[in-house]
Structure 1
């Protein structure tokens, strides 16, 4: 910077003389002027400018005619002019009473182009660089842009990308900038090594972290891209994993990556120290806040003496106590867990101390990094807002809610001091990720042949946090169409309101076809963090074809005769209670998921019944080292008429969705016409159970995401309530078979693949207990993918 050099030389030259020195050219250069001898000029003369107006130059000076100034003003003026980015050189001098500002203008950028880029589009690179069309050319800015482009390629796993620039001058002091890009090859991760782990194998720990070893499908998943920030986040994931499994002394000794430049591959090494495994010792609550009864809070404890130590259980307890004392009028109360290790017995006793915390308020919430999701979608997950009492527990809860949305690949919440000592600024850093899914599912049955379903789902529609799904499916005899929409914060409250519209045509019945369409309106809200309530109104309208044939044919089966009125309209109200403590929605390893629904049909239409269904699943890790997960599921259902007999389609039907190895409506009572079984009649009561064990595929890398599972299913459906008169028509008498409580069972095996396109499932099930009239479907598959 010439101006800086001139100033330094001038300061040296006049260190022992007056502040003004006359040069051979007759120009007095302002040098080191002391405050005691401050200079004054009567006007400012701007030279060297052609495109930039002189007023712009004067406006960036701290020196004005008639006012005294010194070296500090000179320095500040030079800095301001350079900061505009308009000039490549600035010199300030004095001639008599005139301040002369001589500038050399930067060239104007005429055009910015990118050459050689294929993996990253021009539009994306344009957002990365700061050089813009009609902006001022700046060499320092250009170097920063080169580094920014390299960083963008490193983020997609191309750390060896080479970026150069080519400048092409054009008329009028303008310049074209061309970024020449050699994208290079993908920088892979050849290995991830764990050192010091004894309790858990390398494969299990590799499942925990987000950084993955390169594989044949890594170009789709991009999980093998090395990033130092991601590696730091992986350290935290490992800490959580160990802390929640009793290893309270766990720590990461080091984590780093070495680049093999010859092969363009990273080797990631993570060294850990597991420490001993602890269980909870004595657990108690103490309060120093008058009015808070410690004994009354003991029912909120998630930590139990003798249970394996878990940091999550401690956090859940803190949250529960914090919520309770806040509702009792103590918003600033602070809950601090105090642990006491017994190294000999390997126990940790915990005392939850409730005391008055620091009185601090949230000054503002700043949200950064969200390029798609709107700010209000993030803000509404906080139970506090600007001006509220700062509560660290509520901040942690908001972080968990944001992570559970699955809208972001990373969520980080930090704090900064506010404008006053009792003010706190919350900084929320997020990174958007793909939230759309394209799903394909299907199967094969002896009766329907191949069936297929295609659906499109978007969980963050237009960045508003709304859920929308459209589905089309069918087989040889069926066609299905549906669309769903959910607004998770209806009217600004934590109420999930939405609707489902659907249409289905089914010609698989004997003697008739049915065409069903309807709408389902629903609204739900969380009762607690784990308990959810939903209520809904549903209306369906079913029309039947070939009614003339049904009415004139004395051999028509009992199922056909029950719908010979031409249609069947059902209006119902229902409620659902859902409970979940699952540790992961995609691949649960621990926790409970339960749901119970009651539906009340009537309201003056063609159906009058009360239908109740329930299902619960329990997941438990059978072997941490082998990542073997056990699952037990049980379910039950019952429907009872509130007026007369049930119509056939008001009954319950069971099949492959409940007991694998059997077709849709594959088990339960059936109509027999003396020579063949002519259709499923449904039942009023069912019970089902399932046991399943899954583990990574042996002899294969866990990075492939393949899991093998074996299962055993059992179910029964019985108690048909069709009127007896419907089984007699003229001389024809049909009978109902399978109306007793008869169990079916199947065993099978399958493979689940956590593919880049989403979870894909394939299974084969062999019925080992069945009836002659059951419909069998031994093979099934399904898949979904994100976009």
Structure 2
């Protein structure tokens, strides 16, 4: 812990010492033997005189002393009067001196604080420090309070990881018994975590466990990374993160034996060590459900279980199945049914038998739900996180899950949900105590890509618009060749149900160097999204847009450039209105969070254009992905299949604004670098295709560098194609045919990922293996995107 201390600073700087204890009882006596009995007598003063006071009036001094003229008092009561005066905090020294029938109270007042200054601070601004100190201008200076203020400032620096900071309160004397109070601050350096290590881990490497923790080890960019500073309070969070990590992977006996933080002798670094005991990883074996309630058959509940024998044990699997069985009980009209998971270990084969027992619970009801602390957020936003309402049977597990949902909103810095007895033994009151936190952000960003060039963006986002839990976001981004702006509004609980309503409007322009024509898109798209299963959701949407193709070279310009007659014909059709209905079905195992070492994702979308407007088509896209972590979760393997079909319904052919280009799908090629291309004109623009299909295999892995540097590597293999046109009559007059066949492209490459404080950087080095002569390759690509 950093020290704070007080110093004298020459003749004009110094601390005023605490009040001096001085009580004189002068009793006139003839001889020494007569003085001692006199001390035990009572005294009465016909006059009380106050001396030395300047700002504090005599009545206030007497009020603290509580001594009245003619009042009989003892020597002990005189001492008590002194103590009250000294404890008032108004006086530097106090003397209580009896002089015959007069009691003289002499005081020396503390000086008045003129101003309060902070010197030497750079990391914490004056206004923030002023909020920490309790000493005030135009109030009496108190050395004890100044020391307490110095300690509070020191604590603020400690939280930032600057444990070597020192704060010294000093005074500068001014005329009129006034002083300037100065806090002399030596901030010191940030004390970083030089080494973050683990003892007792066998199944996972130190590198993998460091990724789990909120605390990070100091690395290459230590001067700008805040998470590598030592904060004692963060260690408890790290412990919980470690427990969750191991428990979700079947280590039911996992324990954290110790977490020690040692500071170096120079007080400039910490060594943080977690001593753990992993135990063994268990998997599920026999799963069953039994009923201990008369007349209740467990067969339907047994069929509702979703636990696979052989799967790795995880507490979340147990919780999800309890929730499923309790929901089934409610559907059957069975109240006060509780599900008790009973686990039996099989030490020999490291498996767990789980029996879900249906038992009769206590007849307790929720009397009311009280919410406090939500100064901005409406009550209904918090209440809708509860599946329980007033009058429902009390379910402790549901209340715990509701608390987690409230915290997951990220509207509150703290959110505590507790219960207390209600007005009768069978009633409980649920208390929700929250503290609001900022939910809006204004961001400015920079992005860079080898092909796209430098881009800028500005965005505003409010995650709790007007306290209603709604999302409002505005984004404007510009690049070397494009402008993209959009407004998004989301109501996550439309009509009081789990319906996510979204309204999106956008404006996009492109003037791409890789295509010698421009496009403009303006549109609006409202949508509704809702769950249809535990991991599945579906979105229904309507889109109304205007799409335009501009500046297509027809050969009449000064440069003599000429685009394909296909593009010229599409541009001649002018701006077209598109009116379409669409849907997207997505199934994502990440929503359930049951498998921390893998993920499966499937997404299928269709849009039907032709409900009015100028174009008629069906556009279909699909994506399937499987991801798994192997080799102690240090390596991530990923496989992706993706494809799309555009089918025109009318007599008009498709346009480049509707077709697929496969940009970013196959690395090693420039944007608009693959697919059908009219080679019979000097503007060999990519035309896109009505079909695309891509397969990608990827692996991400550590590079052997210190994890805190943020470098990881990857390898990839991409293969696919873009093909098929409705109109293949190319050239300048339509007399030449364009090759729109399925021509396989493939590439292989390596990636370097660098996680930096200014944003994630990705370096791709790719080599095309299969390509057409007219394809445009891109061996190296760098992307960076950051917001600040």
Q: How does 1:54-65 map to 2 (within 5 A)?
A: none
2:428 is equivalent to residue 425 of structure 1: no
TM-score of the pair, normalised by structure 1: 0.78
Q: What is the CA distance between 1:298 and its match in structure 2?
A: 3.8
Q: CA deviation at 1:251?
A: 0.4
Report the equivalent of 2:627.
619
| Aligned match for 1:441, one of 436, 441, 447 | 447
Match of 1:717 in 2: 722
Q: Is residue 713 of structure 2 the alignment partner of residue 708 of structure 1? A: yes
SS at match of 2:743: coil
Residue pairs, 1:543-582, within 5 angstroms: 543-545=548-550, 549=554, 557-582=565-590
Aligned match of 2:611: 603
1:235-254 → structure 2 map (5 Å cutoff)? 235-254=239-258
Match of 1:663 among 670, 673, 686: 670
The residue number in structure 2 matching 1:34 is none
Structure 2 match to 1:643:
650
Cross-structure match for 1:379: 382
Question: Once the two structures are superposed, what CA deviation does each residue of 1:668-718 show, in whole Å capped at 9, x if it has no partner?
Answer: 233342x667333332222221111101122x1011121101011122222
In 1, Cα distance between the equivalents of 2:787 and 2:380? 21
Alignment of structure 1 residues 218-617 onto 2, 5 Å: 218-288=222-292, 294-326=298-330, 333-355=337-359, 356-357=361-362, 358-361=364-367, 363-366=369-372, 379=382, 382-383=385-386, 387=390, 391-398=395-402, 400-401=404-405, 413=416, 415=418, 417=420, 422-428=428-434, 438-445=444-451, 451-457=453-459, 460=462, 466=471, 468-475=473-480, 478-489=481-492, 493=496, 495-506=500-511, 512-527=517-532, 530-545=535-550, 549=554, 557-582=565-590, 590-617=598-625
Instruction: Measure, in 1, the Cα distance between the counterparts of 2:85 and 2:369.
Output: 35
Q: Report the alpha carbon displacement of residue 108 of structure 1 after superposing the two structures with TM.
A: 6.7
Determine if the alignment matches structure 1 residue 164 to structure 2 residue 152: no
1:360-408 CA-to-partner distances (Å, cap 9, x unmatched) read 556434559x9xx968798367226885755444454445546656778
Partner in structure 2 of residue 758 of structure 1: 759
> Does the CA contact (< 8 Å) of 2:213 and 2:241 recur in 1?
yes
Larger mean CA deviation between 633-642 and 266-275 belongs to 633-642
Residue in structure 1 matched with residue 98 of structure 2 by the alignment: none
C-alpha root-mean-square deviation of aligned residues, in Å? 4.8
Deviations 1:569-602, CA, capped at 9 Å, x for gaps: 32323222333333899x9952223322221222
Alpha-carbon distance, 1:125 to partner: 2.0
1:147 shift after superposition: 2.3
Aligned-partner Cα distance in 1 for 2:436–2:701? 33
| Range that drifts further, 333-342 or 509-518 | 509-518
8 Å Cα contact 1:591/1:618 also seen in 2? yes
**1:279, 1:309 within 8 Å by CA — same for their partners in 2?**
yes
Q: Which residue of 2 aligns with 1:42?
A: none
- C-alpha separation between the residues in 1 aligned to 2:330 and 2:87? 51
| 562 and 514 in structure 1: CA distance in 2 versus 1, 3 angstrom threshold | same
Q: Which moved more, 1:284-293 or 1:271-280?
A: 284-293
Matched pairs, number? 721
3-state SS of the aligned residue for 1:152? Answer: helix
Q: Is the 8 A contact 2:113 2:139 kept in 1?
A: yes
Instruction: Name the CA shift for 1:729/1:755 in 2 (closer, same or farther; >3 Å).
Output: closer
Could you tell me which residue of structure 2 aligns to residue 64 of structure 1?
Answer: none
For structure 1, which segment, 545-554 or 320-329, has the greater mean C-alpha deviation from structure 2 after superposition? 545-554
| 1:68 paired residue number | none
**How far is 1:174 from its partner?**
6.8
Following superposition, the deviation at residue 305 of structure 1 comes to: 1.6
Give CA-to-partner distance per residue, 1:735-778, whole Å, 9 cap, x none. Answer: 1203x333221111101122112322121222212222333233
Partner-residue secondary structure (3-state), 1:128: coil
Q: Tell me, yes or no, if the aligned pair for 1:672 and 1:734 is still in contact at 8 Å.
A: no
Structure 2 CA distance, aligned partners of 1:584 and 1:186? 40
Q: 1:220 to 1:336 in 2, by over 3 A?
A: farther
Change (3 A) 1:380 1:252: same
* Contact 2:439 2:462 survives alignment (8 Å): no
Partners of 2:584 and 2:387 in 1: how far apart?
29
Counterparts of 2:754 and 2:381, CA distance in 1? 32
Match of 1:749 in 2: 750
Give the distance between the partners of 1:362 and 1:105, measured in 2 at CA. 57
Q: Please report how far the alpha carbon of residue 459 of structure 1 lies from its aligned counterpart in structure 2 after TM superposition.
A: 5.0
- Report the Cα distance in structure 2 between the residues aligned to 1:276 and 1:555, rounded to whole angstroms: 67
Q: Does the 8 Å contact 2:289/2:357 carry over to 1? A: yes
Separation in 2, partners of 1:584, 1:108: 64
The residue that corresponds to 1:774 in the other structure is 775
Q: 1:125 matched to which residue of 2?
A: 129
SS of match in other structure, 1:297: helix
**CA shift in 2, pair 1:548/1:686, >3 Å:** closer
Q: What are the superposed Cα offsets for residues 45-69 of structure 1, whole Å, 9 maximum, x if unpaired?
A: xxx99779999x99x9xxxxxxxxx
- SS of the equivalent of 1:296 reads helix
2:785 and 2:516 mapped to 1: Cα distance? 36
Q: 302-311 vs 267-276, which deviates more?
A: 302-311
User: Is the CA contact 2:624–2:641 (under 8 Å) kept in the aligned structure 1?
Assistant: yes
1:360–1:539 Cα change, 3 Å: closer
Residue 438 of structure 1, CA deviation? 4.9
Alpha carbons of 1:233 and 1:481: their partners in 2 closer, same or farther (altered >3 Å)?
A: same
Give the TM-score of the pair, scaled to structure 2: 0.78
Structure 1 position 689 matched with structure 2 position 690: no
Distance 1:81 1:352 in 2: 71
1:176–1:210: structure 2 CA closer, same or farther, 3 Å change rule? Answer: same
Aligned partners of 1:557 and 1:210: how far apart in 2? Answer: 58
| Paired residue secondary structure (2:769) | strand
1:187 is displaced (CA, Å) by 0.9
Q: Unmatched 5+ residue regions in structure 1?
A: 7-19, 29-47, 61-77, 92-101
Contact 2:670 2:776 (C-alpha < 8 Å) held by counterparts: yes
